[in-house]
Structure 1
């Protein structure tokens, strides 16, 4: 593939954020080039979150990349909280004016967007690592990259970093020009994929004296489950039987509900942390997705925040090239940071309400505070509405 030497928007990273931005830009008639260090096969296999907010789904539909999602995605109208052998369903539509979420694996979102972007003619280069970004302070930033064994340059009007926390675009912003706020949690998640139909119609979030557990799903035949474990846990130390027994204990509830067991096909440990880098713009360089923020996965916000970033950027670039106005681009960082910090607070609140803190000097006191919050949600429609509003995300603008 021969890549152009110049483009309006250079996008580094072909995860869901970079691919969605490319789709939005192409729809608006704005030229872009997408550079991705990994090969296509690797990108399409990366396992990540699978819960999509309404605004994310609407954006995928709007750019023409949601045909398979609409056919195969699972619309969810709620979640279930469990604690003390009790269960409380949070009904999204009745509490949020009709909004819901969709369960559709990130791997499938990425496959759909890659197919869409290639069909639309977006220059999309896999196995093409960006090496450096220069000129961030100028109106002509340049991305240096390696493609087909040769070092080449891409001159841009703007560069958008969708290449993660350790990507070259974030590091192109001088350390003196950015501040990163970070919170590391004293526990991790052991995540497993199981070839067994889900034991629930909607996600289950369980508080237990033994630690947190989550029952999710990838499809009608594949379950995705998580257990709170200690930081530094080796998945090899957890046998299949031990995992199923622990899930059984943490999901325990009154009634005849039973956890279906099946062969585990994947095990991995996910550390829990939150971070936000401010500002999300430096000169002609913009940060989006994990390059700017990371949230713990408890509230299913990571992919959706990244989508929100590029939806805002897509709109701002469209205005910039339609009528020359920079107002939306100038407001990008402030606009997104307000939403990002709200999502950080929600993820922090949900995480600390449901997980056992191994460092709590008075765990009995801490647990009773958690139970009081859960009891409040069960007793108060207003409390359930607040949780639901945060979970489903903002309405599409």
Structure 2
């Protein structure tokens, strides 16, 4: 096969990039190691920044988001005996939307299919070649036969375990593994809150999120190495009621059937540069953040928003300026969001140190009582401009 851009990875980053390139007349082929059903069913992020929503609308992908997404003005911050609402719209003039990554994926797959554009699923042995030349290529096997895509550019949107990240020679990397994980559950029950509740508790962090008017997404801080089966449904609901303040000021936590349990390790990772020759990285292939700040999917979208016009200029105008600046420009935002995610994580997760706990409570009191503190959180959570 011959194309202009070979994209490795058919998650939101890869499909959104293909969609934006197609709108500017740039051809692409997307390859993916998993099945279409597997990729579509992955339960991941559920919070979209304002800039992500704006880009999806601009790209013609906002119709179902506007119909079915839930616009939230802010979040609740809580610790035992206190709950405070931060109104992002009042503070910084921007909101967030609850709209799951699975729904974004469905919209992107439908758009790709409607345009008759190619996605090759269930490939194996993917490898990248000749990245320092003007004609890099991607090889893979499908149905036992080796295939090759020759392109002008290769983009790695294949996450932290794909071949693209390792194709960069001698990158600089920074990593942190946090000493706790999240036990995440999906429950067939209407949310017990109008907006997300981030709760500090001596027993560990808890988060009440949602996926729809009838499905709740909930998280509990648990030790690393925890297996989901260690937590029965009754134990989960008891911990959630305790940590989220059931009965506090008349608030009630409603439980229901739990349909999914999983444990998510917490880590930060950044790799630099995000470009090597004609290979560009986007999303989790270049950086990972803990989910506390709701940045993972939004960072991937921000990468793609920078990369799409850079590739259009490179391939249609032979103008290399945006492509040459891509890595440095993207990494500025990556590090800002990495810091914010670390800050939210360390402010809200307990580790058993009484001194640290008092510092965390002091910080929470400051954020919820100071307009400057609340504005800083709101500015970062609701999303910085794409070019930041």
Where on the TM-score scale, by shorter chain, does this alignment land: which range?
over 0.9
Structure 1 equivalent of residue 7 of structure 2: 11
Residue 130 (structure 1) shift: 5.5
Q: Secondary structure, in 3 states, of the residue corresponding to 1:201?
A: coil
Structure 2 equivalent of residue 167 of structure 1: 162
Please point out which of 61, 67, 70 is paired with 2:63. 67
Contact 2:184 2:262 in 1 (8 A): yes
Bigger mean CA offset, 7-16 vs 249-258: 249-258
Please point out which of 187, 192, 203 is paired with 2:185. 192
Structure 2 equivalent of residue 128 of structure 1: 123
Q: Secondary structure, in 3 states, of the residue corresponding to 1:44?
A: helix
Structure 1 equivalent of residue 219 of structure 2: 226
Q: Distance in 2 between matches of 1:33 and 1:61?
A: 23
1:274 aligns with 2:268: yes
Q: Distance in 2 between matches of 1:84 and 1:191?
A: 21
Please point out which of 163, 174, 182 is paired with 2:175. 182
**TM-score, structure 1 length as denominator?**
0.95
Please point out which of 34, 49, 54 is paired with 1:53. 49
Q: Distance in 2 between matches of 1:283 and 1:171?
A: 14
Q: Distance in 1 between matches of 2:310 and 2:124?
A: 26
Q: Distance in 1 between matches of 2:153 and 2:385?
A: 28
Contact 2:302 2:386 in 1 (8 A): no
Structure 1 equivalent of residue 376 of structure 2: 386
**TM-score, structure 2 length as denominator?**
0.97
- What does the per-residue CA deviation read over 1:358-382, in whole Å, with 9 as the maximum and x for residues that have no partner? 5xxxx11111100110111122011
- What does the per-residue CA deviation read over 1:188-233, in whole Å, with 9 as the maximum and x for residues that have no partner? 0000001000000100000000100000000000000000000000
Structure 2 equivalent of residue 35 of structure 1: 31
Please point out which of 67, 88, 93 is paired with 2:84. 88
Structure 2: where are the runs of 5+ without partners? none
Contact 2:73 2:95 in 1 (8 A): yes
1:237 aligns with 2:230: yes
Q: Distance in 2 between matches of 1:179 and 1:348?
A: 20
Structure 2 equivalent of residue 309 of structure 1: 303
Q: Distance in 2 between matches of 1:125 and 1:68?
A: 25
Structure 1: where are the runs of 5+ without partners? none
CA RMSD across the alignment: 1.1
Contact 1:10 1:154 in 2 (8 A): yes
Please point out which of 364, 367, 391 is paired with 2:357. 367
